[in-house]
Structure 1
Amino acid sequence: MADSPYHPGPIAAQYAHKGCHVIVARGELDLDTTPDLTAALAKAADEHDVVVIDLSAVTFADSALLNLLLRTHGATTLRIAAPHPRIMLLLELTGADQALHVFTNLDDACATDLS
């Protein structure tokens, strides 16, 4: 299945959607599990004007993900779509939700003009 956009690990899929490059993350994201996601976000930031990370299937995250999101936000227009309630709580408790562009769903993340 070399042509499939689906992958094992913390990245469930990558695809284009309404002018955005979407990366769907999943599972538990910490220092041990984020290297593939780090590489994918860095590549996406280099190649696309708008990158959306769908966090709806991420059930746990720690400061490694927060750091990654903030670094990527500095490199491109990063939008966070549909964060799992646990992840939204993490974003709110740390204040990261004030610095990052967070949307309740993928369509809103891709449709919103931030200019």
Structure 2
Amino acid sequence: MGVVTSQDGDAVIVAVSGDLDLESIAPLVTALAEAGKTPTGPVVVDLSRVTFADSTSVNVLLRAYGDLGPRLRLAQPSAFVRRLFDVIGLEHALPVYGTTEDALGAGDAGDGS
């Protein structure tokens, strides 16, 4: 699992790749905690290169949303992640956007697509 964090104006983009599970989730937890220290701006998690995710990942994202609120925006979920979100209905609980650009341009309402 890999995590690369970058800045886009006041936004933090956390690009995740590979498998997200109990044994590999720690770098994402750390990246989200660090991104949360920024005072303003969205925290966009790019999920386009995630090949596997389990309930541990969902739990981490829900906790991050509890900490960050609508600042947290999930972007471009891979086919696997999209299917997982559809099965558990996560797109109704968290803002999910089709692209990173859409997530960056969204207002504070977090009206994912």
Hey, what's the Cα distance between the residues in 1 that align with 2:10 and 2:86? 28
1:37 alignment partner, one of 19, 25, 28: 28
CA contact (8 A) 1:18 1:111 kept: no
Q: CA deviation at 1:46?
A: 2.1
Q: Name the SS of the counterpart of 1:53 in structure 2.
A: strand
Question: In the superposition, relative to structure 1, how do residues 105 and 15 fare at CA in structure 2: closer, same or farther (>3 Å)?
Answer: same
Matched length: 106
Q: 2:88 matched to which residue of 1? A: 94
TM-score (norm 2): 0.88
Q: 1:65 matched to which residue of 2? A: 57
Q: 1:108 matched to which residue of 2? A: 102
Q: State yes or no: 1:82 paired with 2:73.
A: no
Once the two structures are aligned, what percentage of the paired residues are identical?
34
Out of 43-52 and 70-79, give the one that drifted further.
43-52
Coordinate RMSD, CA, aligned: 1.2
Structure 2: state its 5+ residue gaps: none
Q: 2:18 matched to which residue of 1? A: 27
Runs of 4+ in 1 over 3 A off after TM superposition: none
Q: CA deviation at 1:18?
A: 4.5
TM-score (norm 1): 0.86
